[in-house]
Amino acid sequence: MPVLLAPEQAPSLTNLLASVNTAGLDTFIAGNPQPDPIIQGIGSLQQAGPSEISFLSNPRLKAELDRCKAAVVIVPPEVFEALKDRDLPYGLVKCDQPYLLYALLAQWFDRHRISRLASGVHPTAVVHSSAQLESNVHIGPHCVVEAHARIGAGSRLGPGCVVGEKSVLGRDCLLHARVTIYHGVQIGSRAILHSGSVIGADGFGFAPDPSSQGAWAKIAQLGGVHIGDDVEIGANTTVDRGALDDTVIGNGVKLDNQIMIAHNVHIGDHTAMAACVGVAGSTVIGKRCTIGGASMLSGHITLGDDVHVSGGTAITSNVAQPGRYTGVYPFAEHVQWQKNAAVISQLSQLRRRVRACEKNQD
């Protein structure tokens, strides 16, 4: 990664670590080769330069340290103990969770980058006179903010975004280019929405219409979407509005690219979904769940808290017990699925043995 900050803007290592929330992390700075180096950026072990901080989270990759040119490296305790008495060209930060500390530092550098970007309303943007823009808001080129919408302090809209009538965006949100938020959507603070995401489109609601064979009557989708704080939604992901009540996305939920969340779905806090997941209408997903890529969840079912679904799995009925579930059809508790899969892999041999037994009986 290239150096992010000019030397006069860069913090010392001590100040940098003090600027992020390290609550619950056990960290210790070793003062070699400098007691408090200036840190201009963050980079990988292979690419970080002499003014950057890097990290090692997997001790099996310890050999990469021999070629590292970073100013400081964050390492787990076992690596720190092995290196602390050696004459190293870089300093060490011992941390029990190096990957998490790296994530916090990367957030710090990204916030610094964003804070230096221009704020204000671009001349080509269209903002209704009744819309409320709080302090330090940026509305990019060709954006549209409709009547009675509210944009929280420090939030940024990239080029071509649309915020619909009476929708609310919290503080310090980041909408990349071409995000569309329909009317009556509420999004909490610090949300990140990537390009092409659509929040609040109509759910897929239709009733059979006997006036014409095979016809469908549209059910107007009168609900909204309610999204909590610290949510990230990937590129081209869609979250439909509710038919009557709201579709609800809890705090800290992370949705990857190209995910479909249907109307009236409820997703609990801190659940994460990988790309191409499809969740049918009125499904309830608990807290701290993980849903693997390309998984499908049928409508009107409930997943409890701490349920983990492997990629490509079709969930067609309620899952109450925490655990990992795997399989296209039928799904099963993961350990049971593994046993079944082991049997299936031997079916051809079993078939030959059965045929041999049948011949012997003849």
Set 138, 176, 263, 266: catalytic member = 263
> ω before 59 within 30° of 0 (cis)?
no
Residue for token pair 């603070």 = 189
Long-range contacts of 117-124 (CB under 8 A, 24+ apart): 117/156, 119/156
User: Is 263 labeled as catalytic in the residue annotation?
Assistant: yes
CA separation for the pair 262, 281 (Å, rounded):
5
In terms of DSSP bridges, do strands 120-121 and 126-127 run parallel, antiparallel, or are they unpaired? Answer: unpaired
| Closest among 257, 231, 135, 109 to 174, alpha carbons compared | 231
Instruction: Go through 203-224 and write b for each residue having 16 or more CB atoms within 10 A of its CB, e for each that does not.
Output: bbbeeeeeeeeeeeeeeebebb
Task: Work out whether the CA dihedral 239, 186, 179, 128 comes out positive or negative.
Answer: positive
Within 8 A by CB and 6+ apart from 284, the residues are 265, 266, 301, 302, 303
Catalytically active residues, by annotation: 263
